[in-house]
Amino acid sequence: MLNIPAAVGLLAPMSEGEGDGGYAPPTISEFFPAQVIGEATFWGLTRIDLIALLMTGAVCLFFISAFRKPSLIPGKLQNVGEMALDVVYDNVIDEVMGVKGRKYAPLLMTLFWLILAFNVTGILPMMHIAVTSVVGVPIVFAIASYIAFNYAGIKEHGVGQYFKLNLFPAGVPKPIYLLVTPIEFISTFLLRPVTLTIRLLANMMSGHLLLVLFFGATSYFLFESSGLIQLVAIPSYLMGLIFVFFEIIVTLLQAYIFTLLTAVYIDGALSHEH
């Protein structure tokens, strides 16, 4: 039942556009792979779904085994686990929210490490696609972030006061609210989740397309062309390699930015002066 070549992505870039022998650049269909388990059922899983499950399991397993029996003098694994948490504490939570942000640590830790794990699959051998480059994944993270900052704000101020702080900034002449309030509504309650989703999605999609483009071109020049043109495979391969390193940075940066913005939004929702 499990289609193994499809599951490890062997068919992915080469399967379409062939036949005329020309170079087939990657298309958006990269992000809509066929189901490899339970084809044509409602629970059918694509290879990206399998990677998502695998990475979720890996992150859970790591943190559970690191903190299963926590001790005052940490063992090796607990030490690494604590370092993993400190990355988020030091760079996001304390930096943006101060001590009051520690309450939101579980959410922010989960966001950072899960997004990072889902991004990094874009450059891991055998996987070669970021789970976050499928739109449903960043949407779920953005919804979690959206619920979190609105919940934080409503809990802190109460529903009426929270919306009043956000939609009717103090010190504005009443008629001007007609102009101001729609803008504040759109920018706070609609643009935020949309930009969170698009920023992560577009970064991971374009990264994947760039890598497929360069390595696909390398393979084409090397194996399907002849003469001097074969040499073009060298710069093409080098560009691919450069973009792999670039993707490592993007992977980290996007996980960081998503978590940071969530912290900023929560902090803004808690703040008393808007």
In the complex, which residues of this chain contact other proteins (CB under 8 A)? 89-90, 94-100, 169-172, 176, 179-180, 182-184, 186-188, 191-192, 260-261, 264-265, 267-268, 271, 274
Q: Which CB sits closer to other proteins, 118 or 265?
A: 265
Q: Output DSSP code: residue 188.
A: I
Please give the biggest Cα pair distance in the chain.
75
Cβ–Cβ < 8 Å for 132, 200: yes
Q: How many CB atoms lie within 10 A of CB 186?
A: 12
Cα–Cα distance, 191 to 185 (Å, whole number): 9
Q: Which residue, 115 or 261, has its beta carbon nearer to other proteins? A: 261
Which of 53, 191 has the CB closer to other proteins?
191
In the complex, least distance from residue 268 CB atom to other proteins, rounded to whole angstroms: 6
**Residue 103 C-beta: closest distance to other proteins, Å:** 13
From the CB of 62, what's the least distance to other proteins, in Å? 24
Residue 170 CB, shortest distance to other proteins, in Å, is 8
Return d(Cα 81, Cα 64) in angstroms, integer: 9
Nearer of residues 156 and 184 to other proteins, judged by Cβ:
184
Nearest to 153 by CA among 272, 258, 257, 261: 272
Give me the least distance between CB of 94 and other proteins, in Å please: 4
Task: In whole angstroms, give the CA distance from residue 243 to residue 223.
Answer: 22
Rounded to the nearest whole angstrom, what is the least distance from the CB of residue 198 to other proteins in the complex? 13
**Integer Cα distance of 270 and 98 in angstroms:** 12
Residues ≥6 apart with Cβ < 8 Å to 82: 66, 74
Least distance between other proteins and beta carbon 194 (Å): 11
At its nearest, how many Å lie between other proteins and the CB of residue 203? 17
Is the CB of 9 or the CB of 268 nearer to other proteins?
Answer: 268
Q: How far apart are CA 198 and CA 214, in angstroms?
A: 24
Of 49 and 267, which has the nearer Cβ to other proteins? 267
Helix (H, G, I), strand (E, B), or coil: what is residue 202? helix
Task: Considering the complex, state which of residue 68 and residue 102 has its C-beta at the smaller distance from other proteins.
Answer: 102
C-alpha gyration radius of the chain? 23
How far apart CA 98 and CA 87 sit, in angstroms, is: 15
Number of Cβ atoms within 10 Å of the Cβ of 125: 6
Nearest CA to 98 out of 271, 274, 254 is that of 271
**Which C-beta is closer to other proteins: that of 118 or that of 163?**
163
